[in-house]
Amino acid sequence: MASVLVVEDDQFVRSALIRQLTDASHTVRSVGTALEALREVAHFRFDVVVLDLGLPDLDGSEALKMLRGITDVPVIIATARDDETEIVRLLNAGADDYLTKPFSVEHLSARMAAVLRRSRSGAGETAPSPVIRVGGLTVDPLRRQAELDGARLDLTRREFDLLAFLAGRPGVVVPRKELLAEVWQQSYGDDQTIDVHLSWLRRKLGETAARPRYLHTLRGVGVKLEPPAEQTPHAPGAEPPR
């Protein structure tokens, strides 16, 4: 069963969710504000967060952005808002799924199970992959670790997935639609989702869009990762060219 953080300011709804999730053998903690939620995920490990949007101190969409800055935990949005544009925006901003209120605990449990299956699958339950080396960049998909010139990179789950996907295709221009499908598991979305994550990733690689080293954007085409001009890639485990 899962360890769940319920972020909900309505005491009646919160109590019902706690009782029903606990009855379903989940371990549950709950808070009523965004700031309390941030403190919880900073101090405890959760399998999934159920996040209400109508919080008293901060809108849930802003809370989602802040959560994504400090944790990769799957987030399911619980909302009374059913506007498709808003839902798509939240998914692009880092939500893993959403539920429109009112919903049953059985429906929530099913969504949680689906999100956790995707999360665990992406965390290395498939066959081991070889370590990828591109220039001074090393990506280990099995251990989900990346280094640049020997220094460990502190990446979020989505940043690592994006880096590993591109590094596994050095020099190949990957269309944005393919990135959305393979990294975000979404068949549609806007370019802002990719641009934001590329910006964060570039910052951690010590580069900018204006002065790229590894990540190169071809406007209207896609994105590619290749070693800096003074370096060339070599196969995993092979001696670098002399």
113 and 175 share a domain? no
Please list, in sequence order, all residues whose beta carbon lies within 8 angstroms of the beta carbon of residue 192, skipping any fewer than 6 positions away.
92
Please list, in sequence order, all residues whose beta carbon lies within 8 angstroms of the beta carbon of residue 186, skipping any fewer than 6 positions away.
91, 92, 180
Write down which residue in 61, 96, 122 finishes a domain: 122
Residue 187 CA to residue 210 CA, distance in Å, equals 29
pLDDT given at position 230: 62
pLDDT given at position 234: 47
The residue with tokens 């995707």 is 118
Residue 63: strand, helix, or coil: helix
In a domain, 231, yes or no: no
Beta carbons of 7 and 37 less than 8 angstroms apart? yes
The DSSP line for 37-49 is: HHHHHHHS--SEE
pLDDT given at position 36: 92
Which residue type does 109 have? S
pLDDT given at position 128: 46
Residue 232: strand, helix, or coil: coil
Domain harbouring 151, CATH code: 1.10.10.10
Segments forming the whole domain that contains residue 164 = 132-225
52 and 77 share a domain? yes
Instruction: Count CB neighbours of 196 within 10 A.
Output: 16
* Tens-digit pLDDT string for the chain (242 aa): 788 999 999 889 889 889 988 888 888 999 999 999 998 988 888 889 999 988 899 887 888 888 887 788 889 998 887 777 878 788 877 888 888 888 888 888 888 888 887 766 555 444 445 889 999 999 998 788 999 999 999 998 888 989 999 999 888 898 988 888 888 776 666 667 788 889 999 999 999 989 999 999 988 788 999 998 764 444 444 444 44
Instruction: Please provide the size of the chain in residues.
Output: 242
Write down which residue in 70, 89, 122 finishes a domain: 122
In a domain, 158, yes or no: yes
104 and 12 share a domain? yes
107 and 158 share a domain? no
Domain harbouring 25, CATH code: 3.40.50.2300
74 and 29 share a domain? yes
